[in-house]
Amino acid sequence: MLRAPRAGKSAPEGTSPDGDPHPVAGKRTRLRPVVLLLGLLGLVVVFLGAVLIGSSGLGWRQVLAEIVAQLTGGVSPLSERDAAIIWELRVPRIVLAGLVGAALASAGACYQAVFRNPLADPYLLGAAAGAGMAATIVMVTVPAVRGWPVDPIPIAAFAGSLGGVGLTWLLGRSASGRGSSGTGTLLLAGVAVAAFLTAVQTFVQQLNVDTLKDVYLWMLGGFNLADWNAVLLALPYIGLAAVVLVLCGRLLDVLGLGDAEAASLGLRPGRIRFLVLAAASLATAAAVSVSGLIGFVGIVVPHIVRLLAGSSYRVIVPMSLIAGAIFLIVADQLAGNVRYPAELPIGVITAFTGAPFFVLVLRSARGRV
């Protein structure tokens, strides 16, 4: 049984010692099967809708017949070329969008839990800046990267993202001291590292202005070059990170009570934060490496889940995985169809959605950030 807050730090029932609401004192601290089922059903509907609609001119009846034929072993009603459009272009793009959305949304939820800040997002610790710098360097120094058997840009972005987070962690750890969790110091270290890496990226861009368009389009994010290789590149890292984050949901709830209460239960808050931040950063790095920089997903989706499904991270994290996938699949469909045959960068779509939502979150969180 959890102990009550110590004398002198009493708080109203259902709140943490610092006055913020925490889910441990609430009733809905477990993911109800009906909620999970509805979320998965919504994901299936969105996935099938994206496969059927598409933007390549194939009729939805033909596509549906093709899916049924593949599932039942029947004869395909489509030509080899049209079938390739579905299974080699359309489906991997939708799968990749779902993976990236799930990664960014779950990482955002966990960042908000660790930093106790509703505006924290997956790019907080220098992941975006590191990925952007590394990708920019590859674009300006390696000629004709699109003709390579293996595209070096995702690999460079992945390494740069992890490098940025690692540098932030080392700087924050050295500044806060070995025995301190130092989340505030880590946050400031992330700001400093991101500023430095962005400055390096800008310097490299200015020396190679002919690549500005490519760098700019990559930074806005998108899935126009998605294929099964990109899915296989990101899937192991996002899958591993997702498992760790879901399993840590209960621990994040306990951390909401405060470090003293968590320690009294035999937990080590510093190690828990390190594990969660490492997994969230791994998911972010994998997502950035295959999609570029897509903003607002990690802020918008966890807050929507929190409003609809409760405030326990045992619910928020797994539902953010599902809702994030739905959100980014829908956003990608809008990006590909709003100005068809031209395609908008998906970052523009998420910004249109996320910026007003960000303002609402900022107003509701006033005084706590």
pLDDT in tens, the chain (369 residues): 344 444 444 444 444 444 444 444 444 567 788 888 999 999 999 999 999 886 566 777 888 888 888 888 878 888 888 888 889 989 999 999 999 999 999 999 999 998 888 878 888 888 889 988 998 898 888 765 555 666 788 888 899 999 998 898 888 878 766 544 467 788 888 889 999 999 999 898 888 887 788 788 888 888 987 889 899 989 999 999 999 999 999 999 998 888 788 888 888 888 898 899 999 999 999 999 899 889 889 989 999 998 888 889 999 999 999 999 999 999 999 888 777 777 888 988 898 888 787 777 767 655 555
One-letter amino acid at 158 equals F
Q: Count Cα atoms within 13 angstroms, Cβ side, for 204.
A: 18
Give 21's strand partners.
15
Cα–Cα distance for residue pair 132/248, rounded to 1 Å: 29
Q: What is the DSSP letter of 229?
A: H
Question: Is residue 159 in a domain?
Answer: yes
Question: Is residue 68 in a domain?
Answer: yes
The count of domains in the chain is 1
Question: Is residue 14 in a domain?
Answer: no
Question: Is residue 220 in a domain?
Answer: yes
DSSP-based three-state secondary structure for 211: helix
DSSP-based three-state secondary structure for 12: coil
| Residue range(s) defining the domain that contains residue 86 | 34-360
Question: Is residue 160 in a domain?
Answer: yes
Question: Is residue 276 in a domain?
Answer: yes
CATH number at residue 214: 1.10.3470.10
Cα–Cα distance for residue pair 249/106, rounded to 1 Å: 11
Question: Is residue 255 in a domain?
Answer: yes
Question: Is residue 71 in a domain?
Answer: yes
